[in-house]
Amino acid sequence: MFAVISDIHSNIEALTAVLGDIERRGIKTIYCLGDVVGYGPNPGECLDLIIEKTKWCVLGNHDYAALYEPTNFNYGAEQASFWTRFSLEAEQETQRRSRRWSFLGTLPMRRTLRIKLGGVNAAIIDFAHASPRKPINEYIFPDDVYTNPLKVRVLFERVRHICFVGHTHLPGVFLDEPDFYLPDELGDVYPIIDSEKAIINIGSVGQPRDDDNRSSYVYVDGNEVHFARLKYDFETTAKKIEAIEQLDNFHAERLRDGR
């Protein structure tokens, strides 16, 4: 069994809740799809936990922004990334500060697992923050299936079997027809089979945007990908955001609404 988490966005309350849930399920292996930082009030603490608890992590666009520069960010997101950098730089303990920066600075863009699942399937699973084509920045929205089916088909040419992504904060499964299924429509389970390609968006731990304010992540048990949702104390996170002048209050409001 393993769990996949993504888009923590400096939300330590959500991350702590999700890690606790994963531990309760007895899952020891956790992979992370990036955007550990950005938007939220606890970048350093989230990095420390991700370093400690996950097997590996790939680079997200907000991690890239804190490290290098924000690209195509709106004003609020850009301000948040500058504040994130400031906050990480303000850490007084040299060792901790440099461990966080060197973790960010060595994140890979992609990872691949070749794995036997449920003793039956030999799966090739790719992991990227955003898309199999442009792993850091490309958005794959559920609507693309209807408004831009060619884009989705071209993306699937880059998928060998299964690709886990985050980035849009909208969980669900893309098939190569193309088609998109919400977790609800699948009874929260997608079975990986040899003969079907899928791009699986696992949703966001720290800033869900599908009108459900609970944290989202997945765990894989046998050949089944389970979509999990979890309540966390978003009010505490929201209040911390509101108390930091450089962080737009909208980032707090959206946590309450899950948008």
Footprint on this chain of Fe ion (rule: CB under 5 A): 7, 35
Distance CA 194, CA 209 (A): 31
| Smallest separation, CB 29 to Fe ion (Å) | 22
Q: Which residues of 160-175 are buried (b: 16+ CB within 10 A; e: fewer)?
A: ebbbbbbbbbbbbbbb
Distance CA 193, CA 171 (A): 19
Distance from the Cα of residue 246 to its chain's centroid: 23
Nearer to Fe ion, 43 or 117 (CB): 43
- Residue whose CB is nearest to Fe ion in the complex, by number: 35
Nearer to Fe ion, 80 or 155 (CB): 80
Q: Residue 119 contacts by C-beta under 8 Å, 6 or more apart in sequence?
A: 222
| Smallest separation, CB 147 to Fe ion (Å) | 22
Nearer to Fe ion, 21 or 35 (CB): 35
Nearer to Fe ion, 35 or 126 (CB): 35
Q: Which residues of 209-234 are buried (b: 16+ CB within 10 A; e: fewer)?
A: bbebbbbbbbbbeebebbbbbeebeb
| Smallest separation, CB 100 to Fe ion (Å) | 18
Nearer to Fe ion, 17 or 202 (CB): 202
| Smallest separation, CB 34 to Fe ion (Å) | 8
| Smallest separation, CB 61 to Fe ion (Å) | 7
